[in-house]
Amino acid sequence: MNLETSLAGLRLSHPILIGAGLFKLEHELAKALLIGAAGVEIGGFTYESREGNKDGRNFESFEYGALNSRGLPNLGINYLRQHLNAMVAMAHAAKKVLLVNVAGDNPDQFAELAMVVIEGGADGVVVNVGCPNKWSGDKQERVISYDPRGFELVLQAVCENVRSKYPNARIFVKLSPYFDYVLLAEIDSLINIYKPAAVIATNTAPNGYWSKDGQPLLTVTKGFGGYSGVGLRPISRGNTRLHKQYLDPEIDLVAVGGINSGRCVDESITEDGATAVQVVTAIGARHERDDVIGRMLTDYVEILEARQPATV
C-alpha cells in the first residue's frame, strides 16, 4: 500500500517521523536513520552549547508516560555550522527528511539559528517555543508558548530573517499543549499572520511530577519535568483538533504526544486533521531492539486495508 504523503511540500514515504529530543549528533543520526521513520527532527539546538540538567535522573518512564528534564543539552550553533551539511547528506542518502529543532534565548538567537539551519540544507527549521526545562540556577525560565508577545517577537524575527534570503524556506512552529483555548486561538491568530509551513503540536506538558517510594522520579530540577507519552495523548489530540479549527487551512499540522500505535496514527490523520505524526517517548523508552515504527506502520496499513471495500 502506498503511504506516501506531502508535508509542507516535502515528500514523505509515509506519515511517521521521529520528533525532537532524542538525536542531536552525527553518529546518533546515523542510528536514527536505521529506525523506519520517514524522517528525523534533530535537536533541539540552542545558540550556546549547554550541558543540560545532567547530574541525576533526567528522563524516566513510568506507568502513565514519561517525565524529562534534560534541559536541552547540545553543542550549540557551532555544531550545526560544522556538521549540518554532512547530516543532511546522510539523511537524504537514506531518502529521509531532516528537520532541525532550535530554541534561542531571544528572538535574535532564534533568527540566527534558523538561518544556519536553512543554509545548512535542512528540509525545514522547527522553532521550538515549548521547552519547559530551561532553568537558570533555581529559577525556571518562561515557556514562550504561553507568552503571546514574546512568541510574536520570535516568530517575526525568524520569518523576516530567513525569508529575506530564502522566501520559500520551510519554517515549522512547535507549540506547548494549551489548556486555555482563548490563549491557543490568540497564538494561532499570530501564526496565521506569519504563515509558517506547519505547526507541530504538542511539546511536553510543563511541570509534571511523579514519585516512587516517596522519592521524586527525576532527581534534577526539584523533580519537575515535561510530561510526555500515553497520558499526554488526549491533551495533544485536543490541541491538534483546536489548531485545525483556528489555523488557516494551508498551514499543515503534525501531531505529537503519546503516539505509539497504528491506531494513533490513523486517528491523528483521519479524525484530527494532521498530515503527519511524530513519535518520541515510545522510541526513547523502548527496548533497544523493539521496532516501534515498523509495528506502528504494519498496524496502520491493516487499519487502512480493513476500511477499503472488498474486491471479491
The interface region with ligand FMN, picked from 75-83, 104-112, 152-160, 275-283 by CB under 6 A, is 275-283
Burial of 212 (0-12, 13-18, 19+ CB in 10 A): exposed
Stretch of 16-24, 111-119, 154-162, 262-270 contacting ligand FMN, by CB under 6 A: 16-24
Cell of 194: 506569519
- Select from 279, 292, 293, 297 the one that contacts ligand FMN (CB under 6 A): 279
Nearer to ligand FMN, 77 or 307 (CB): 77
80 binds ligand FMN (CB under 6 A): no
**Of 8, 125, 280, 293, which one interacts with ligand FMN (CB under 6 A)?**
280
* In the complex, minimum distance from the CB of residue 177 to ligand FMN, in angstroms, rounded to a whole number: 9
C-alpha cell at 151: 512568541
Q: Residues binding ligand FMN: what is the number (CB under 6 A)? A: 29
The mark string for 32-71 relative to ligand FMN (x by CB under 6 A, - otherwise) is: -----------xx--------------x------x-x-x-
Among 21, 132, 223, 238, the residue binding ligand FMN under the rule CB under 6 A is 21
Binding range to ligand FMN, per CB under 6 A, among 1-9, 138-146, 251-259, 296-304: 251-259
Closer residue to ligand FMN (CB): 33 or 127: 127
For residue 3, the minimal CB distance to ligand FMN (Å) is 19
Q: Which of 9-17, 79-87, 126-134, 158-166 is the region at the interface with ligand FMN (rule: CB under 6 A)? A: 126-134
Contact positions with ligand FMN (CB under 6 A) in 130-159: 130-131
310 vs 2: CA distance, rounded Å: 18
238 binds ligand FMN (CB under 6 A): no
Work out how close the CB of 309 gets to ligand FMN at its nearest, in angstroms, rounded to a whole number.
Answer: 33
Set of cell numbers at residue 62: 513510568
Q: List the one residue from 196, 229, 238, 262 that touches ligand FMN (CB under 6 A).
A: 229
Could you say whether residue 259 binds ligand FMN (CB under 6 A)? Answer: yes
**Which of residues 63 and 305 has its CB atom nearest to ligand FMN in the complex?**
63
- Minimum gap (Å) between residue 180 Cβ and ligand FMN: 19
Cα 264 to Cα 81: distance, rounded to the nearest angstrom: 36
Let me know: does 192 contact 251? Beta carbons within 8 Å. Answer: yes
Cα dist. 217→52, 131, 224 in Å?
17, 19, 9
Task: Give the cell for residue 255.
Answer: 501531531
As measured in angstroms, the least distance from the Cβ of 114 to ligand FMN is 14
Residues in contact with ligand FMN, shown as a per-residue x/- string from 158 to 177 under the rule CB under 6 A: ----------------x---
